[in-house]
Structure 1
Amino acid sequence: MESKRQQKMASLLQQELAAVLQRDLPHLFNGGLAPGISTVRVTPDLGQARVYLSLLLSTDADARLAAVQDNVKEIRHALAKRIRKTARVVPELIFFHDDSAAYAAHMDQVLSTLHIPAESKEVDETEKPKLPKLFNSKGE
């Protein structure tokens, strides 16, 4: 469980990184749409931040993630300019691809193809499961 301090820092980083990627450094994506930031997780010492990028609308998600990872230094510097009065130290940024939405769509597709028969409301006495006897006839 994250502390309030970690949660505040993660929230700040999520907002400011989104602004950095969309406004300050759009040239990193060659005129394309900047990736969204789905989650930020910060270590207890606030030294590292794991940033999960949502790359749903892009066909070349791996190339866009590589572009972000290649420019981590520039992104961190732009982030430092934005949060210099709020945070004492800018954490090391580690970017990951967040594929949870694609996984959810896949699971929805799998579940929709399942055939689940409807449950009958009437249960015959012969179909009821028989419970094992725990005691003998004397009650022991």
Structure 2
Amino acid sequence: MDSNRLKKVAGQVQKDLAEIFREMAQSQFKGLLLTVSRVTITTDLSLARCYVSVFPATDKQGVVDYLNENKAAIKNNLVQKLEGQLRKMPDLVFYLDDSYDQEEALNKILKGGGESPIK
């Protein structure tokens, strides 16, 4: 499949997932901000890897685990939002995007205020 088409599909999935998560945050994750930082889709449209950031949370992985356990309902909402734009809807897999936490730790190290995680 054309890479431009994949980028467009991934962008649309990311946008629609953000809207679904915004609705979920109001009902199930009060006080949390869920953002979809990146979506990558395989060329055969069989799998969508969705990277999610969670702020502020102590149990970030627990939120991502909840999303993976309820991915059928999330996928159903996504199919309704896409309204037949895709012939085949990819399976969703959610991953914790901890790049912000890594960036924060690196900044702390560079400023001299933290211990190096590399041993």
| Band the TM-score falls in, shorter-chain normalisation | 0.7 to 0.9
Summarize deviations over 1:52-84 as a string: whole Å, max 9, x none: 000131121122111111101100011011112
Q: 1:25 deviation in Å?
A: 7.3
Compare the two structures and name the one with the higher strand fraction. 2
TM-score of the pair, normalised by structure 2: 0.84
Identical amino acids, percent of aligned pairs = 29
Deviation of 1:15 after TM superposition, in Å, equals 0.3
Letter in 1 for 2:80: K
Q: Is the 8 A contact 1:26 1:34 kept in 2?
A: no
Quote the offset at 1:24 in angstroms.
Answer: 6.0
RMSD: 2.0
Task: Name the aligned partner's letter for residue 10 of structure 1.
Answer: A
Aligned length: 112
Larger Rg: 1 or 2?
1
TM-score by length of 1: 0.72
Superposed, 1:1-140 pairs within 5 Å as: 3-23=3-23, 26-29=26-29, 31-113=30-112
Gaps of 5+ in 2: 114-119
**Distance apart, 1:101 and its partner CA:** 0.6
Deviation at 1:90?
1.3
Residues 25 and 60 from structure 1, CA distance in 2 versus in 1: closer, same or farther, beyond 3 angstroms? closer
Contact 2:25 2:32 in 1 (8 A): no
Runs of 4+ that moved beyond 6 A = none
